[in-house]
């Protein structure tokens, strides 16, 4: 069988050996942004497990950009050494190491999920949050400070510096996080962006910071390496960011040189009713792909090989991103190949267990 899931995908100078990517998922296991052996084993095992692209979890561009005090960061040169060990191991397994660069905005300064996930105040080790407008995510949260022009310029420059460090650390793909209610998404959506300057109001103004971040990253990121953007295609709320705006933005990003849109949804406001079901976000990847021609990645309750194969076979996306299914099964890709009767190379250390 010649499955689409196990066909290669070339993005600029990088060829992925298959169409399976590990979606960025926070591990909340860092100290002051520094990666640990947990990250080496976590990402390394999924590279051993046959995925073609491993995208590292949301990695903060500044200390105040972390979701929690236990988030990974790339705001010190000293962060590079351990990350280089991780990327080196991933590449030794024939996979590509990618990194998601992020700033949490008003959703920063929170406890790690297994400690409740609530916003931390200063006495609890938290910090002042930042956002396009002084509107809290939860009513009980302290309001963020609305960024001034100098603050916006600093964030754009922090993305630039983090991208430069990512290159030194050995990553071969960058994903800019503009989804899930974090800072850039907060600028995109009129629900969280009430600004009256050039960064608020019209569609062109609300997307401005993302375009400036992309251009800032491109100044240091090689033109021959992939640049991805993760977008929440809809807020699932009336008068919020929506699919039509996502398609317009994707077309702009394509012209700017972005290679792939990683299509997620939601996260901007709490207590939203989302029609969760297997593959519930795939339709957005399909629309963006068909209406703009840019490569897209599909994510969201994609849990088995045949489901992933059908998405690609029906030309609904170019890449599938596996999240929770890969937490349950680090060898998701190897097992998917067996289900689809594809004979793929296994790590030589594991060949004796190959079906």
Q: Quick one: pLDDT at residue 4?
A: 97
350 is catalytic: no
Does 194 have pLDDT greater than 90? yes
Q: Quick one: pLDDT at residue 131?
A: 98
Does 3 have pLDDT greater than 70? yes
**Per-residue pLDDT tens over the stretch 132-191:** 999 999 999 999 999 999 999 999 999 999 999 999 999 999 999 999 999 999 999 999
**H/E stretch holding 229:** strand 227-232
Q: Quick one: pLDDT at residue 336?
A: 97
Does 1 have pLDDT greater than 70? no
**Per-residue pLDDT tens over the stretch 197-240:** 999 999 999 999 999 999 999 999 999 999 999 999 999 999 99
Residue 315 CB partners (closer than 8 Å, separation 6+): 286, 289, 290
- How much of the chain exceeds pLDDT 70, in percent? 100
- How much of the chain exceeds pLDDT 90, in percent? 98
Read off the pLDDT of each residue in 5-26 and give the average, rounded to a whole number: 98
**Per-residue pLDDT tens over the stretch 278-298:** 989 999 999 999 999 999 999
Q: Which of 182, 199, 280, 350 is catalytic?
A: 182
Alpha helices by DSSP H, listed for the chain, are 37-48, 80-92, 149-168, 183-188, 203-206, 208-218, 243-256, 282-292, 305-313, 324-328, 332-339
* Residue 43 and residue 86 in contact, taking contact as beta carbons nearer than 8 Å: yes
**Per-residue pLDDT tens over the stretch 293-338:** 999 999 999 999 999 999 999 999 999 999 999 999 999 999 999 9
**Residue 263 pairs with which residues in a beta bridge?**
231, 298
Neighbours of 283 (CB within 10 A): 15
DSSP string, 303-337: -SHHHHHHHHHTTS-SEEEE-HHHHH-TTHHHHHH
Read off the pLDDT of each residue in 49-69 and give the average, rounded to a whole number: 98
Hey, is 55 helix, strand or coil?
A: strand
**H/E stretch holding 175:** strand 173-178
Alpha helices by DSSP H, listed for 59-197, are 80-92, 149-168, 183-188
Give buried/exposed letters for 192-231 (b at 16+ CB in 10 A, else e). bbebeeebbeeeebbbbbbebbbebbbebbeeebbbbbbb
Residue 130 CB partners (closer than 8 Å, separation 6+): 64, 105, 106, 108, 144, 145, 147, 151, 155, 183
Q: Quick one: pLDDT at residue 2?
A: 87
* Residue 197 and residue 248 in contact, taking contact as beta carbons nearer than 8 Å: no
Q: What rounded mean pLDDT belongs to the chain?
A: 97
Q: Give CA–CA dist 172/227, Å, rounded.
A: 9
Residue 79 CB partners (closer than 8 Å, separation 6+): 33, 34, 35, 72, 73, 165, 169
pTM: 0.97
Q: Give CA–CA dist 125/137, Å, rounded.
A: 19
């Amino acid at each position: 069988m010649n499955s689409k899931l196990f066909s290669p995908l070339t993005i600029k100078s990088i060829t992925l050996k298959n169409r399976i990517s590990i979606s960025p998922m926070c591990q909340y296991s860092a100290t002051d942004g520094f990666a640990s052996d947990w990250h080496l084993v976590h990402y390394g095992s999924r590279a051993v497990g046959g995925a073609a692209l491993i995208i590292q979890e949301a990695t903060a561009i500044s200390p105040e950009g972390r979701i929690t005090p236990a988030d990974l960061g790339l705001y010190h040169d000293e962060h590079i050494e351990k990350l280089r060990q991780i990327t080196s191991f991933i590449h030794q397994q024939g996979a590509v190491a990618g990194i998601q660069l992020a700033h949490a905005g008003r959703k920063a300064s929170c406890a790690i999920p297994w400690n409740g996930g609530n916003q931390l105040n200063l006495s609890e080790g938290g910090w002042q949050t930042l956002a396009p407008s002084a509107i809290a995510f939860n009513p009980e949260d302290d309001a963020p400070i609305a960024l001034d022009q100098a603050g916006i310029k600093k964030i754009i420059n922090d993305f630039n510096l983090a991208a430069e460090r990512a290159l030194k650390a050995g990553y071969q793909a960058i994903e800019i996080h503009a989804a899930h209610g974090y800072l850039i998404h907060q600028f995109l959506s009129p629900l969280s962006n009430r600004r009256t300057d050039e960064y608020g109001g019209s569609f062109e103004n609300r997307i401005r910071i993302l375009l400036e971040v992309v251009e800032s990253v491109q100044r240091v990121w090689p033109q021959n390496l992939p640049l991805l953007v993760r977008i929440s295609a809809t807020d699932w709320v009336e008068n919020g960011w929506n699919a039509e705006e996502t398609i317009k933005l994707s077309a702009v990003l394509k012209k700017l040189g972005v290679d792939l849109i990683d299509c997620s949804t939601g996260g901007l406001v709490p207590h939203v009713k989302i029609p969760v079901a297997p593959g519930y976000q795939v339709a957005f990847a399909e629309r963006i792909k068909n209406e703009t021609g840019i490569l897209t990645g599909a994510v969201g309750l994609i849990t088995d090989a045949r489901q992933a194969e059908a998405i690609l076979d029906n030309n609904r996306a170019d890449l599938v991103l596996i999240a929770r299914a890969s937490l349950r099964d680090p060898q998701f890709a190897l097992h998917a190949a067996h289900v689809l009767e594809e004979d793929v190379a296994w790590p030589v250390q594991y060949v004796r267990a190959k079906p």
